[in-house]
């Protein structure tokens, strides 16, 4: 079986979507599926540019954003068409409803190749990245999401809550709930108390401090300003708290300035994005994991925290409601500073009182890949057509 992935977000970009697409690609390849990825070109010196079956698309880059690129499919139509004519995919799987995803849908429709769409994000919450009126941008995001879903043979989303959200929006096509595969290999090792105290000392934290942890991109949609304002209230009640911020992004500097303005910066440790093998140390020294985002559909960091035995305080969202059970493995709050701050203050010792457990098997990458392969086979069998002449289907002089 040959599958063509189209994604606007891929390695070496650091994000949950990029990681999940790569993990699915790798896991499908291990099952014998040949996966060809059409993805942006980042042109980063520390990352290989020539990888087997990865087709890099000319992209718009910004000097101040090292690991961000906006693919420009209209400048790459000939390259994409030639590649598809050569690959002759059995199925096309696109991961966003815009840009490369839009081109993928058109190519699949024209060629009568079955097409699958994975809904990764609440795209209407990301319109601040584009130079449109916000109201118009939201309408466009909703239109492209609905159009992409209803023209696909199958829609995949990570949770039942997200599936219900899509149906409410107007998606009529079949939706399959399939969680993102998560590699827990790094999270099953437990460090000793002495090892964790040594790690705390190495990053400048006294052993008697209570530690709050945030892991993720520093971007507007993650609602980080809310979390910092909540920390100001928390520190008025407890002086023994440190917040570790693991990640980087477009609003990192403005977050630092806000922390200075709120006079809480001395209680924050800012680190850059960390490699997977280093993250378990941060999760295991922390007392609570904070998740202020309202826009995620399945936040991998929540599962990493729970797999590490770390309880979560999260804003109520599609992502957090799908995995957090109040009083069991964490606490859900509204977007309310008093409520969020109180949940943190009241549960700083929750980790010592209750064992946090996550059923990891249902998120195992190999299991997810097998299920996705079965879905591909089903979609292909239900939408089989006569053998096609790909050289005619993928015309090299056609515009989007």
- One domain, residues 81 and 207: no
Residue 32's SS3 state is: coil
Task: Give the Cβ contact number of residue 392 at 10 Å.
Answer: 9
Residue 358 lies in a domain: no
Average pLDDT, the chain: 91
Give phi and psi for 336, each to the nearest 5. Answer: -140, 120
| Residues in CB range of 19: below 8 A, 6 or more apart | 11, 300
The confidence score (pLDDT) of residue 126 equals 77
The confidence score (pLDDT) of residue 6 equals 98
What's the pTM? 0.91
The confidence score (pLDDT) of residue 125 equals 77
**Number of domains forming the structure of the chain:** 2
The confidence score (pLDDT) of residue 45 equals 58
Residue 122 lies in a domain: yes
Q: Tens of pLDDT along 248-269?
A: 998 999 999 999 999 999 999 9
Q: Once rounded to an integer, what is the mean pLDDT over residues 129-135?
A: 75
Find the domain containing 133 and state its range.
2-181+364-393
Q: Once rounded to an integer, what is the mean pLDDT over residues 180-207?
A: 94
The confidence score (pLDDT) of residue 94 equals 98
Greater model confidence, 29 or 69: 29
The confidence score (pLDDT) of residue 397 equals 46
The confidence score (pLDDT) of residue 66 equals 67
- One domain, residues 167 and 243: no
Question: In whole angstroms, what is the distance from residue 204 CA to residue 206 CA?
Answer: 7
Among the listed ranges 130-134, 164-168, 196-200, 219-223, which one has the minimum average pLDDT value?
Answer: 130-134
CATH of residue 320: 3.40.50.2000
Task: Give the Cβ contact number of residue 286 at 10 Å.
Answer: 24
Is residue 392 over pLDDT 70? no
Q: Once rounded to an integer, what is the mean pLDDT over residues 184-210?
A: 94
Q: Tens of pLDDT along 227-246?
A: 999 999 999 999 999 999 99
Strand positions, DSSP E, 29-161:
34-40, 54-57, 59-62, 65-71, 91-94, 115-118, 154-157
- One domain, residues 313 and 244: yes
Residue 400 lies in a domain: no
């Amino acid at each position: 079986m040959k599958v063509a992935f189209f994604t606007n977000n891929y390695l070496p970009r650091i994000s949950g979507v990029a990681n999940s697409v790569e993990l699915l690609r790798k896991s499908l390849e291990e099952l014998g599926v040949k996966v060809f990825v059409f993805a942006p070109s980042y042109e980063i010196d520390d990352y290989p540019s020539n990888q087997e079956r990865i087709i890099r698309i000319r992209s718009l880059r910004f000097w101040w954003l090292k690991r961000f690129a906006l693919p420009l499919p209209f400048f790459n139509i000939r390259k994409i068409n030639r590649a598809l004519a050569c690959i002759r995919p059995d199925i096309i799987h696109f991961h966003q409803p815009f840009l490369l995803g839009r081109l993928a849908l058109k190519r699949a429709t024209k060629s009568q190749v079955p097409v699958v769409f994975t809904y990764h994000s609440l795209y209407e919450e990301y319109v601040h990245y584009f130079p449109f009126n916000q109201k118009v941008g939201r309408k466009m995001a909703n239109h492209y999401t609905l159009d992409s879903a209803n023209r696909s043979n199958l829609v995949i989303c990570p949770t039942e809550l997200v599936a219900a959200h899509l149906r409410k929006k107007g998606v009529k096509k079949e939706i399959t709930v399939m969680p993102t595969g998560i590699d827990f290999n790094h999270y099953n090792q437990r460090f000793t108390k002495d090892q964790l105290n040594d790690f705390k000392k190495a990053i400048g934290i006294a052993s008697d401090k209570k530690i709050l942890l945030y892991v993720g991109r520093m971007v507007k949609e993650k609602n980080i300003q809310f979390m910092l304002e909540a920390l100001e209230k928390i520190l008025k009640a407890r002086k023994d708290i440190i917040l570790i911020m693991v990640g980087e992004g477009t609003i990192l500097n403005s977050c630092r300035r806000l922390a200075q303005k709120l006079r809480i910066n001395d209680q924050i440790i800012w680190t850059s994005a960390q490699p997977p093998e280093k993250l378990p140390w941060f999760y295991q020294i922390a007392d609570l994991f904070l998740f202020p985002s309202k826009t995620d559909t399945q936040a991998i960091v929540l599962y990493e925290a729970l797999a590490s035995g770390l309880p979560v305080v999260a804003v109520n969202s599609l992502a957090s409601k799908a995995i957090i059970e109040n009083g069991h493995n964490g606490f859900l709050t509204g977007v309310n500073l008093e409520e969020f701050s109180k949940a943190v203050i009241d549960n700083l010792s929750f980790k010592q009182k209750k064992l946090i457990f996550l059923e990891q098997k249902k998120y195992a990458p190999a299991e997810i890949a097998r299920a996705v392969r079965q879905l591909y086979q089903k979609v292909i069998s239900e939408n089989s057509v006569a053998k096609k002449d790909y050289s005619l289907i993928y015309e090299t002089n056609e515009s989007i």
